[in-house]
Amino acid sequence: MSSPNVFQRASAADLPVAVKGDGIAILTADGRRIIDACGGAAVSCLGHSDRAVTDAIKAQLDQLPYAHTGFFTSEPAERLAAMLVERAPEGIGRVYFVSGGSEAAEASIKLVRQYFLEKGEDRYRIIARRQSYHGNTLGALAAGGNEWRRRQFAPLLTEATSHIAPCHYWRFAEPGESPEDYGRRVADELEAEILRVGPETVAAFMAEPVVGATMGAVPAVPGYFACIREICDKYGVLLILDEVMCGMGRTGHLFACEADGVRPDIVLIAKGLGAGYQPIGAMLVNETIHQAIATGSGAFQHGHTYMGHPTACAAGVAVLTAMEERDLLANVNAMGERLRSGLEARLGQHPNVGDIRGRGLFLGIELVADRDTRAVLDPKAKTHARIKSAAFARDVMCYPMGGTIDGVHGDHVLLAPPFIVTPGDVDEIADRIAAAVNDVLPAAA
């Protein structure tokens, strides 16, 4: 039977019907309880049935569901903005609410353009990294460096974007190269690219502190972002950190960049901000950028109907409050360690598991043909997708991705369970994921 509803695929008819949230799991119409070990796409940080959040949303709906930002602000929008600024990296002074990650990336591309115009500089270029993902709308897609996603839309993508190497030490370091030397070498590509396209044209560099969907929870090597910051400062280029996936506590810090000790000019957040209870994202902006616009033309020339949506902001306040009242970042760190070591114990010696990595409850498992040589699997085998299916058959979700980075195939699954997982949950997840890997890639073969 064909369903009129389409998601990414041609029809949603073959998908199980989700009917109820149950803590870290989703219950289906046919009676399954599926553990959400990837938070959907690293979204559901509080699980699927958090009463504090749903009660806050219901109360806001009763009070004021929506008011257009052309006329009003609202109590939840003011409160959430204040909470975020108070906790944000140094220098961040303003918040611009949107409805998701792509909108946040899109807004940042336009904001940096307007900022430089206000300063009398005709800068517009965005440099990002190959294999990155910053969203599916045209500006964000152009900034992203994921060839597979870009290919068929290439004629529509602005040429004001260009790409340098990602920072992926395990896969791309030269034999014997130290993490420091590797980080410096790939960061230096930014300087070379700025010089190639003309420093007077470059507005910003955009990167994820921990690369999520496209690479499978790959943090930069220590020192990489310090080099990036130095190069940005040398050429007056702004640094946009995309924390849509890795932010809001996912890595064990509220902002992932805290661990890298880097000061961004703009931070993009989304997924964990609403935790799936409401669609919301935000662009957090350095006060200097804001002031240039406030004292210049007076307003950022950009806006969406649902920006600063009171109900979505109320959800954001409730999520952040829940995270802090329940000290969930401590649990992210403790359970992240437990999950990583659980996976190491079960899969660390598996001949097809090349790397288990990540930070906090944001972990990736890289699949290879040979763990010693790191030879890649046949891309046509779509091993990541088969592991997703095998895991789903075992009632656990993981987020799969395969892709080519600089001519080298990558195959991984991503784990990003809710921050509320218990030691028992984590052990269950490690058991089922290891079993799914062995279903697809039997260790004895």
Q: Which residues of 131-161 are buried (b: 16+ CB within 10 A; e: fewer)?
A: bbbbbeeebbbbbbbbeeeeeeeeeeeeebb
Report in angstroms how near the CB of residue 103 gets to ligand PMP at its nearest.
7
Kindly report the backbone phi and psi dihedral angles of residue 129, in degrees, each rounded to the nearest multiple of 5, phi listed first: -120, 150
Q: Hey, which residues between 142 and 201 contact ligand PMP (CB under 6 A)? A: none
Q: Hey, which residues between 81 and 120 contact ligand PMP (CB under 6 A)? A: 100-102, 105
Nearer to ligand PMP, 8 or 152 (CB): 8
Query: Count of CB atoms within 10 A of residue 12's CB?
Result: 14
Q: Are strands 266-269 and 281-286 parallel, antiparallel or unpaired?
A: antiparallel
Q: Contact region for ligand PMP (CB under 6 A) — 55-63, 198-206, 238-246, 354-362?
A: 238-246
Among 21, 209, 212, 403, contact with ligand PMP (rule: CB under 6 A) = 212
CA distance 391 to 399: 10
242 binds ligand PMP (CB under 6 A): yes
Report in angstroms how near the CB of residue 8 gets to ligand PMP at its nearest.
11
In three-state secondary structure terms, 83 is helix
User: Pattern 244-263, binding to ligand PMP, x per CB under 6 A?
Assistant: xx------------------
Nearer to ligand PMP, 128 or 434 (CB): 128
204 bridge partner residues: 126, 238
Report in angstroms how near the CB of residue 292 gets to ligand PMP at its nearest.
25
Q: Contact region for ligand PMP (CB under 6 A) — 58-66, 176-184, 239-247, 334-342?
A: 239-247
Among 24, 204, 213, 367, contact with ligand PMP (rule: CB under 6 A) = 213
CA distance 209 to 221: 10
What lies within 8 Å, CB to CB, of 210 at 6+ separation is: 217, 218, 219, 220, 245, 246, 251, 256, 358, 359, 362
In three-state secondary structure terms, 286 is strand
Report in angstroms how near the CB of residue 218 gets to ligand PMP at its nearest.
12
Residue nearest to ligand PMP (CB): 101
Q: Contact region for ligand PMP (CB under 6 A) — 206-214, 254-262, 325-333, 343-351?
A: 206-214
Residue pair 328/419 in contact (Cβ under 8 Å)? The answer is: yes
Q: Contact region for ligand PMP (CB under 6 A) — 8-16, 130-138, 164-172, 294-302?
A: 130-138
Nearer to ligand PMP, 399 or 428 (CB): 399
In three-state secondary structure terms, 276 is coil
Nearer to ligand PMP, 81 or 240 (CB): 240
Q: Are strands 125-129 and 161-164 parallel, antiparallel or unpaired?
A: parallel
DSSP string, 195-238: HHH-GGGEEEEEE-SEE-TTTSSEEPPTTHHHHHHHHHHHHT-E
Report in angstroms how near the CB of residue 133 gets to ligand PMP at its nearest.
5
Binding residue count for ligand PMP, defined by CB under 6 A: 15
Residue pair 234/226 in contact (Cβ under 8 Å)? The answer is: no
Residue pair 346/438 in contact (Cβ under 8 Å)? The answer is: no
User: Pattern 27-66, binding to ligand PMP, x per CB under 6 A?
Assistant: --------------x-------------------------
Residues found near ligand PMP in the complex (CB under 6 A): 41, 100-102, 105, 133-135, 208, 212-213, 242, 244-245, 270
